[in-house]
Chain A
């Protein structure tokens, strides 16, 4: 399973990591990294956190321009992949400096996600936060004190809300689900964050959807009105799977891949936020939006392409979110059926019939790191062992 020409579609942290790891693993063929955004590949996580008030764009850059030359990686920024022609083994590209067609021996899809636009009238009045350009626009908007409405009480919306509140803005968060971060964390952890945000002075409107946005604010489905000079849309994302779907690859909650992270075409892999893969612990098909999944996927694909390694993907998921002075860390992945139990101050266990599935910690980094070891170990982790770890 060797290919002499690898093309990576998508130059986010996962796509770049695939190029880095291919060279580190000794891959000697041609590598082309194609990215839709201008500039060098950069880190996204800080965009909703430290970057907003005062960060420097240079510090977000993952590798300098010299890296691409020294590693013989062709980088095509500002280039859109318009079509995958699987019969010809070629991509059709559009971009100022890109060839019209680019052949591949193996294609890695790292196309990421885009912001979900829920069926809300007037969304053209709202800003999103996904790219460096978005963050720069938001920073300019944050320069003068104002009333801000945030649609979506997930990680991005809440991280942004914490920053905006600290800068002195009046902030209201609108979440359609009955609690914050419902997809990602337990009710106990969500409640702790809700208390923190309320204490910081942020208004939380839970269990009610935004119905429409206009130049003066947001109208809620329950009839209430949130006046705002500025509205952030942070209602989650959609995987960019259309390109794969149009090429006849299997899709569904992203681009479907197997335990080797191969799509239904053995010449094409997919990684990161756009890839729907079998969770090593439960076997369920999952799609994760995290730096960890993107980079660990990239390393596995690179080893397979460079060395023919055939190990199934088995990395433990982990996540983080900084909201004000609360540091949330999650080790493992809890399914929708997982139950929850507070194990110690700032430590919540999520468990199911198989045992411990995930550990959420707030401001307890040592327990987070121990939980990662515990969950990554071969033996199924139990709640009792976690209790011992937390008590130690």
Chain B
């Protein structure tokens, strides 16, 4: 299992355990973490699973997928260099302990 910590906009932290291969978006929904919507189910069609990768994981979380940057264009909250669509971050053992921060709004 891979641990992921979600830090809500108000600072509240939730840590969940997810299966390798699951996305950071799926892990949030299947563990009842609020603040990620994932309306399109991970098809990169909606930009409602926006997150900011914690500084410490910027490199480890990998690069944006093709088309991801374009969809982030439509994210509801500010987009920064650490913005990702969480449906495109696939969990693997080397991401154990990953920390992502959630934006103020997704819609």
Contacts and interface: CB of A to CB of B under 8 A. Distances in A.
A64 to B, nearest CB: 5
A17 to B, nearest CB: 9
B26 A59 contact: yes
A291 B74 contact: no
Nearest to A69: B32
- Chain A: interface size category: 20 to 34
Interface stretch (B6-14, B33-41, B54-62): B33-41
Contact of B39 (A63, A70, A292, A370): A292
A81 B81 CA distance: 50
Interface in A42-71: 43, 45-46, 49-50, 59-64, 66-67, 70
Nearest to B68: A365
B30 A46 contact: no
Contacts of B74: 368-370, 372-373
Interface string A354-380: 000000000011101110110000000
A372 B75 CA distance: 11
Contacts of A45: 40-41, 43
A215 to B, nearest CB: 36
Contacts of B30: 61, 63-64
A365 B67 contact: yes
A141 B29 CA distance: 31
A369 to B, nearest CB: 3
B47 A320 contact: no
A365 B44 contact: yes
A24 B32 CA distance: 12
A50 B45 CA distance: 14
Nearest to A364: B70
Given A320-B40, A365-B67, A63 B73 contact: no
A340 interface: no
B98 to A, nearest CB: 19
A329 interface: yes
Contacts of A202: none
B32 A70 contact: yes
A66 B67 contact: no
Interface of B: 22, 26, 29-32, 34, 39-41, 43-45, 47, 67, 69-71, 73-74, 107
19 contacts: A43-B41, A45-B40, A59-B26, A63-B32, A64-B31, A66-B32, A291-B39, A320-B45, A327-B45, A364-B70, A365-B44, A365-B71, A365-B73, A366-B71, A366-B73, A369-B47, A369-B74, A370-B73, A370-B74
